[in-house]
Amino acid sequence: MKGLFITGTDTDAGKTYVSNLILAALRAENVDAVGYKAICCGGREDAYALQKASGGEVELDRVNPYWMRTPAAPHVAGMFENFDLDLGSLTQGCRDLAADHEVVIAEGIGGWMVPISKDYMVADYARDLGLPVILVVGNKLGALSHTLLTIQSMRAMGIEPAGMVFNNLVDELDTATITNKGIAEDLTGVEVITDVIRGQESIEAWPFMELIG
């Protein structure tokens, strides 16, 4: 299975935004790349966006097989809705897409340690998929702590992040947001593949193509 796993430092770090940019860049290079978000909680906007970025050629329920209406972590949403998740199907859905398409960009749910069930986190799901992991950093005050903690957790699981994408959440950068990228690289040794200016509509495909192999 070829692809990338996109996680974030937090909810609303910009995972879907960055995933869509990656999909668009790959498809512009004639790579048959499609998006996958196993679980949506609350709205389903992320799934629709990924479906559109995938060229509209994948059924919505394959892009997003599980949709819970409660805007909470999957574990909590599942309790409220009496929703029984088949954890094995999360990875199988991605593998089924990979059997039909060249590359799958799999987006996580919230941050790295969001509970999917009581004993199964997004981190476990990423490990089970086995794809290179890209960390989307929502660049704001406090991002350094979120970034360091997330990478520390990845490494504790034996996962070395493939790179970071810094997503600038505001137009006017301050001291923290200007310096976060360089400090994060220096403290973690993880390369920032690219940083994204708010509203940016395209990125280069080649760094991601190299990671996918």
Express each pLDDT in 147-186 by its tens digit: 999 999 999 999 999 999 999 988 888 999 999 999 999 9
Which residues does 204 contact at the CB level (< 8 Å), separation at least 6? Answer: 25, 194
pLDDT number for residue 4: 98
Write phi, then psi, for 34 (nearest 5 degrees).
-135, 155
Of the candidates 174, 17, 185, the one whose C-alpha atom is nearest the C-alpha of residue 107 is 17
Q: 7 falls in which pLDDT band (50, 70, 90)?
A: very high
Strand partners, 168: 139
Q: Which residues are catalytic?
A: 37
pLDDT at 17: 97
Residue 208: the pLDDT is 97
For the residues 83-112, what does the mean pLDDT come to?
95
- Which pLDDT score, from 0 to 100, does residue 85 have? 87
The reported pLDDT for the residue numbered 57 is: 84
Domain that holds residue 82: 3-212
Among candidates 65, 9, 13, 11, which has minimal Cα distance to 36?
65
Q: With 0-12 CB in 10 A as exposed, 13-18 as middle and 19+ as buried, what is 43?
A: exposed
Q: pLDDT per residue over 119-133, tens digit each?
A: 999 999 999 999 999
Asked if the model's pLDDT at residue 203 lies above 90, the reply is: yes
pLDDT of residue 59: 97
- Please give the tally of structural domains in the chain: 1
Say what the pLDDT of residue 44 is. 97
CATH number at residue 80: 3.40.50.300
